[in-house]
């Protein structure tokens, strides 16, 4: 039935060649964005003053309220839309120390949504045990008792000083997938679901087998960390990220027959009841078709080792700035433009999934969703996300920003951010291409701080988002829908028999 609906949408939509983009107004929007910008002041307040915005934390709520206030100050209506998030997690102190073959403190941070050491300091040997599949776990399960576990070999660190390129670097991604054995893995829905369930189950299996904790390779150069975690993948034993240098040191010692030992004490707090979170939604009501809308989106939440600037203070403050630019320009879009600052993105697109589900009944009235989430870099253009039929349209939409070098249109499908949540509903969804600007260093690391923001790039990005959103709001017709597909549930609970509690 769903596929029939989408076929009809394709069949009855006005051919795109007949829809010409009205570029009048672009000049005013670009002038407002480039010459009267407030993006840096807003970004500094968000990152330096409100700080990192871990979903579920008080800072996340403060950021929701502050951004709603900013939208209102710019003349928009704004509201917080709630959704069920999952359990809270609070980071406590963590200390991890190498105690053999020599003594040295390691820089270590708890992976999010993992337990601590239960008020104890846990000392044990470090073992390397490939735990990447049920088969390798079966072979190595006997090694983990009383040990801190490296679950895979150290990654070689990708050279980050290569040429400037967009953040969607397919070569690097392909190499990571190859190293994780996923490049050749079965991609059937059942196999993907089984792999996800295995990652949920694994820490429970390791705890039952007597492991002290697991270690994560920071995977970056010069002791930069990376951070992730989700209430959908709670770990009942500590999981701790350490630098690539230290991870590789431990792996080398083991390979050389030296038995390294660690002691660790970690104090995290994991909630036991699901809590609400909120997306901040600002709105400029359409003058002719208020029931139809263009969505500009970015996630307001962040990881908490830095202050969440390039991921994604920049994107969310550019969306706020695009709202200011359109409102202050005096232009009146024909369709409603909604500016949605999602939370829960870092835990698995939870806020945008909830938003798309809550608005599913009116998904056919969403003209398009445009997301910005690849760092501080200037927008270079658009990736078509499987919508080759919209190539000509995107070239028209970006023509007014050609002078800002934002007019590339390429066939690529980008992963990992909030536009994905809308695709199953047939909504055209896109994530702009951007210059890299060191995103591979700052992403999820302690160096994701305000000094990395590039002012000229953020002004440019706000101009591009405002111009494209305004033009889409004024197109004569709604865009043809993409193919609709079922929303795939994310496994969040361990398999029966494993959840015995910490």
Q: Which residues form the interface with Zn ion (CB under 5 A)?
A: 311-312, 373
> For Zn ion, which is the closer residue by CB, 293 or 373?
373
Compute the C-alpha angle 191/197/200, nearest 5°. 150
Nearest distance, CB of residue 338 and Zn ion, angstroms: 19
Nearest distance, CB of residue 418 and Zn ion, angstroms: 8
> For Zn ion, which is the closer residue by CB, 167 or 250?
167
For 336, residues 6+ apart whose C-beta sits below 8 A from its C-beta are 283, 284, 285, 286, 289, 290, 291, 292, 293, 294, 473
For 478, residues 6+ apart whose C-beta sits below 8 A from its C-beta are 13, 292, 364, 365, 367
Cα radius of gyration (the chain): 23
The 3-state DSSP class for residue 259 equals: coil
User: What span, in angstroms and rounded, lies between the C-alpha atoms of 270 and 26?
Assistant: 49
Nearest distance, CB of residue 331 and Zn ion, angstroms: 29
Distances (CA, A) of 285 to 25, 249, 291, 403: 17, 58, 9, 29
Phi, psi dihedrals of residue 155, rounded to the nearest 5°: -75, 140
> For Zn ion, which is the closer residue by CB, 217 or 373?
373
Placement of tokens 């929007």 in the chain: 29
> For Zn ion, which is the closer residue by CB, 70 or 299?
299
For 124, residues 6+ apart whose C-beta sits below 8 A from its C-beta are 146, 147, 148, 212, 261, 262, 263
Sheet strands (E) in 172-304: 213-217, 239-242, 261-266, 269-284, 289-299
Query: Are 397 and 473 a contacting pair, CB within 8 Å?
Result: no
The 3-state DSSP class for residue 284 equals: strand
Query: Are 324 and 396 a contacting pair, CB within 8 Å?
Result: no
> For Zn ion, which is the closer residue by CB, 239 or 310?
310
> For Zn ion, which is the closer residue by CB, 414 or 484?
414
> For Zn ion, which is the closer residue by CB, 263 or 311?
311
Edge-to-edge order in the sheet of strand 239-242: 104-106, 94-100, 261-266, 122-128, 147-150, 213-217, 239-242, 108-110
The residue length of the chain stands at 502
DSSP label of 91? -
Nearest distance, CB of residue 345 and Zn ion, angstroms: 6
Nearest distance, CB of residue 354 and Zn ion, angstroms: 17
Nearest distance, CB of residue 327 and Zn ion, angstroms: 25
Phi, psi dihedrals of residue 149, rounded to the nearest 5°: -115, 130
> For Zn ion, which is the closer residue by CB, 284 or 300?
300
Nearest distance, CB of residue 311 and Zn ion, angstroms: 4
Nearest distance, CB of residue 299 and Zn ion, angstroms: 6
> For Zn ion, which is the closer residue by CB, 112 or 128?
112
Nearest distance, CB of residue 32 and Zn ion, angstroms: 26
> For Zn ion, which is the closer residue by CB, 215 or 354?
354
Task: Tell me the sheet residues that pair with 124.
Answer: 262
Strands 335-342, 379-383: pairing is unpaired
> For Zn ion, which is the closer residue by CB, 140 or 312?
312
Task: Tell me the sheet residues that pair with 369.
Answer: 295, 429
Nearest distance, CB of residue 168 and Zn ion, angstroms: 13
């Amino acid at each position: 039935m769903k596929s029939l609906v989408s076929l009809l949408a394709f069949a009855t939509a006005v051919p795109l060649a007949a829809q010409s983009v009205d570029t009048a107004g672009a000049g005013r929007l670009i002038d407002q964005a480039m010459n009267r910008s407030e993006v840096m002041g807003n970004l500094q307040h968000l990152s330096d003053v409100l700080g990192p915005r871990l979903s579920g934390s008080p800072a996340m709520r403060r950021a929701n309220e502050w951004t709603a206030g900013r939208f209102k100050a710019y003349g928009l209506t704004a509201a917080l839309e709630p959704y069920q998030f999952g359990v809270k997690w609070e980071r406590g102190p963590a200390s991890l120390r190498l105690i053999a073959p020599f003594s040295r403190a390691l820089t270590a941070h708890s992976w999010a949504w993992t337990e601590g050491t239960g008020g104890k300091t846990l000392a044990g040997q470090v073992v390397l045990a490939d735990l990447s599949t049920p088969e390798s776990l079966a072979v190595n399960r006997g090694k983990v008792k009383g040990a801190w576990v490296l679950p895979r070999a150290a990654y070689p660190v990708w050279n980050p000083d290569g040429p400037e390129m967009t953040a969607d670097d397919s070569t690097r991604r392909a190499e990571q997938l190859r190293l994780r054995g996923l490049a050749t893995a079965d991609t059937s829905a059942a196999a993907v679901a089984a792999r996800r369930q295995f990652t949920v189950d694994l820490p429970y299996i390791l705890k039952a087998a007597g492991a002290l904790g697991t270690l994560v390779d920071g995977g970056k150069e010069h002791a930069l960390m990376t951070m992730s975690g989700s209430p959908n993948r709670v770990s009942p034993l500590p999981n701790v990220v350490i630098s690539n240098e230290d991870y590789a040191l431990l792996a080398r010692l083991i390979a050389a027959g030296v038995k390294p030992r660690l002691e660790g004490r970690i104090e995290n707090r994991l909630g036991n009841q699901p809590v609400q979170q909120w997306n901040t939604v600002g709105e400029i009501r359409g003058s002719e078709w208020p029931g139809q809308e263009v969505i500009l989106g970015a996630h307001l939440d962040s990881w908490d080792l830095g202050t969440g600037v390039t991921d994604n203070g920049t994107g969310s403050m550019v969306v706020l700035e695009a709202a200011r630019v359109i409102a202050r320009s005096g232009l009146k879009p024909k369709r409603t433009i909604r500016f949605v600052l999602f939370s829960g993105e870092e835990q698995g697109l939870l806020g945008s999934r909830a938003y798309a589900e809550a608005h599913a009944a009116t998904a056919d009235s969403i003209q398009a969703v445009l997301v910005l989430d690849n760092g501080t870099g200037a927008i270079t253009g658009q990736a078509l996300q499987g919508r080759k039929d919209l190539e000509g349209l995107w070239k028209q939409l970006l023509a007014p920003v050609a002078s800002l070098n934002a007019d590339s249109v390429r066939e690529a499908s980008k992963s990992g951010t909030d536009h994905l949540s809308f695709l199953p509903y047939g909504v055209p969804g896109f994530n702009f291409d951007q210059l890299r600007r060191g995103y591979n260093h700052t992403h999820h690391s302690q160096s994701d701080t305000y000094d990395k923001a590039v002012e000229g790039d953020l002004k440019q990005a706000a101009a591009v988002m405002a111009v494209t959103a305004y033009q889409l709001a004024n197109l004569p017709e709604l865009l043809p829908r993409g193919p609709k597909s079922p929303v795939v549930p994310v496994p969040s609970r361990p398999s029966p028999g494993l959840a015995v509690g910490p």
